[in-house]
């Protein structure tokens, strides 16, 4: 059992759901990435998702795009991002996954990237622009180094592909909540709840279901969990606090994490 599976099992035994917090490596800078993650963990985040910035982040909305752009402008590289991951892993016991894009793995090669990820304390990878049909190399080297491979599904994923992805994903299944990119939403439409219920019919008893893209408020967390989700993923809301740049940023991040975590119980 991987650390991610162990975390979901422990939460399930306490009748809790998981809160997954997303941070961009290198935003607002290298040192403060660690502060942001620490604030999330102190607020109760169960799993950290660390984004490795990429120049063409097709799954991300303007908030994460801007944060990634600034991180790259300030010199963030995949190697530096893995160094940040190592510091996070050395400092916190929560599972750590990285989210990035396929080109980041192509340059060093899947074998080298996975090996370095494992050494850096990473437990799983999310590659949104890599389809399950093209993932054999990713799966091969993830298995070699004991990493989970987390795949995404959307509200319009066909039942045929959904069955394949549920069988292939490990750690958890990532459901994109909306037709669009990441970014805070005011509310969710009924089709999102229907999508959660639909996907849960295929994932129940096999793999935890996490829902992301737009989740930023307590009522969003309740909405997803009431529909059947096992976890929620929050990113842009944390980054928005950093963007505001006012005093007490870390206290606000910790406070938001604590508020959202309370809603998972």
Q: Return the bridge partners of 22, or none.
A: 49
Whole-number Å distance between alpha carbons of 220 and 42: 21
Burial of 75 per CB tally in 10 Å (0-12, 13-18, 19+): exposed
The separation between the first and the last C-alpha atoms of the chain, rounded to the nearest angstrom, is: 24
CA distances from 84 to 45, 52, 76 (A): 18, 10, 10
- The token pair at 45 is 């985040």
- Among residues 49, 148, 184, 230, the one annotated as catalytic is 49
Catalytic (active site) residue 49 = yes
- Among residues 16, 31, 46, 60, the one annotated as catalytic is 60
CA 260 to chain centre: 15
Whole-number Å distance between alpha carbons of 73 and 10: 40
Catalytic (active site) residue 60 = yes
Burial of 47 per CB tally in 10 Å (0-12, 13-18, 19+): buried
DSSP three-state, residue 77: coil
Number of other residues whose CB lies within 10 A of the CB of residue 119: 13
Q: Which residues are known catalytic residues?
A: 49, 60
């Amino acid at each position: 059992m991987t650390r991610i599976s162990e975390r979901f099992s422990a939460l399930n035994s306490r009748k809790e759901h998981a809160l997954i917090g997303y941070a961009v490596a290198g935003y607002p800078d290298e040192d403060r990435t660690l502060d942001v993650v620490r604030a999330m963990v102190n607020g109760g985040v169960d799993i950290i998702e660390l984004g490795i910035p990429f120049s063409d982040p097709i799954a991300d909305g303007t908030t994460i795009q801007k944060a990634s752009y600034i991180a790259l402008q300030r010199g963030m590289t995949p190697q530096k991002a893995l160094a940040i991951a190592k510091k996070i892993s050395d400092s916190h016991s929560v599972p750590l996954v990285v989210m990035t894009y396929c080109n980041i793995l192509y340059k060093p090669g899947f074998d080298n990237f996975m090996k370095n990820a494992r050494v850096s304390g990473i437990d799983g990878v999310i590659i949104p622009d890599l389809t399950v049909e093209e993932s054999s190399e990713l799966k091969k080297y993830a298995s070699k180094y004991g990493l989970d491979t987390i795949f995404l599904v959307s509200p319009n994923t066909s039942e045929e592909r959904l069955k394949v992805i549920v069988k292939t994903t490990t750690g958890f299944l990532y459901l994109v909540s909306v037709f669009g990119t990441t970014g805070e939403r005011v509310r969710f439409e009924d089709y999102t709840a229907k999508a959660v219920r639909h996907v849960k019919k295929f994932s129940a008893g096999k793999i935890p279901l996490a829902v992301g893209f737009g989740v930023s408020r307590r009522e969003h967390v309740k909405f997803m969990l009431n529909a059947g989700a096992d976890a929620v993923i929050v990113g842009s809301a944390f980054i928005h606090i950093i963007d505001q740049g006012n005093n007490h940023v870390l206290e606000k991040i910790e406070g938001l994490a604590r508020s959202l975590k309370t809603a998972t119980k």
